[in-house]
Amino acid sequence: MRNALLELINVEAGYGVFRVLHDVSLRVDKGEIVALVGPNGAGKTTTLKTIVGLTNLFKGEIMFEGSRINDVPTYNRIKKGLALVPEGRGIFAPLTVLENLYLGAYHEEARQKLSDSLEMVFTIFPKLKERKNQIAGTLSGGESQMLAIGRALMSRPKILLLDEPSLGLAPKIVSELFQIFKGLNEEWKVTLLLVEQHVKNSLEISHRAYVMESGKIVLEGESSALVNDERLRKAYLII
């Protein structure tokens, strides 16, 4: 049965008076991995920013756990269980790994679960445990990405919004990361909305996917079916 955790209904949003998203509707059910793919400038980042309240919303509804959150400020959306791992990661370079993780658990409820959450993050990313006292700015690209995800997990999100987590990483690390996403979803029951350029990998680990072009959803469906979609194969050279 359908169990929508997050839903965008006919959303128009952008920056200032400039509209980027046109009539965007998408849904992420509890327990799903949903991929959002599309070319550069399609509006993928804008969609994630809109979900956490960092753009101008002109029209439409954003629903989370059945409630309209259009007017809920960003920090309260985080409190409700939305977490964004932004493009470029946004970790605090001069702080240690551990300090960065603590910063992820800043709201009251997350703080109460701090030691539990830390154990969870270190189980998922043993590398971060080994390097907990290292200055974050000296981590490798893959490790920085793990830290950014780990920090988001410290807020105990109900849904994790990931913006191109594999950007700039070596192919081997990219595959590792995708396996981690699968594990996060299957073992730790984290719902994921994943924006990615690696279309094939994304379709392989996701349940459903949306394709966005010029601020519009142009294709959607079960990922297993989209892998074989002729338009998608042509556009993204999936072999």
Ligand X SMILES: Nc1ncnc2c1ncn2[C@@H]1O[C@H](COP(=O)(O)OP(=O)(O)OP(=O)(O)O)[C@@H](O)[C@H]1O
- Binding residues vs Mg ion (CB under 5 A): 44-45
54/98 with CB nearer ligand X? 54
Give CA–CA dist 83/191, Å, rounded: 11
18/239 with CB nearer ligand X? 18
Q: Does 18 bind ligand X (CB under 6 A)?
A: yes
72/160 with CB nearer Mg ion? 160
- Residue 145 binds which entry of Mg ion, ligand X, none, with Cβ cut-offs from 5 to 8 Å by kind? none
Give CA–CA dist 169/173, Å, rounded: 6
Selected from 32, 37, 44, 124, the binder of ligand X by CB under 6 A is: 44
CB of 44 to ligand X, least distance (A): 3
Selected from 1, 2, 17, 40, the binder of ligand X by CB under 6 A is: 40
Which segments of 97-170 does DSSP mark as H helices, in order? 97-104, 108-112, 114-124, 126-130, 141-153
CB of 43 to Mg ion, least distance (A): 8
- Residue 66 binds which entry of Mg ion, ligand X, none, with Cβ cut-offs from 5 to 8 Å by kind? none
Question: What sign has the CA pseudo-torsion 75, 78, 84, 89?
Answer: positive
105/211 with CB nearer ligand X? 211
Closest CA to 149 of 108, 94, 90, 202: 90
**Which amino acid makes up residue 195?**
V
Parallel/antiparallel/unpaired status of strands 18-29 and 216-222: unpaired
Q: Which residues contact 166 (CB under 8 A, 6 or more apart)?
A: 145, 173, 174, 177, 178, 196, 197, 198, 201
- Residue 142 binds which entry of Mg ion, ligand X, none, with Cβ cut-offs from 5 to 8 Å by kind? none
114 alpha carbon, distance to own chain's centre: 21
Selected from 6, 8, 11, 20, the binder of ligand X by CB under 6 A is: 20
62/154 with CB nearer ligand X? 62
Residues that bind ligand X (CB under 6 A): 15, 18, 20, 38, 40-46
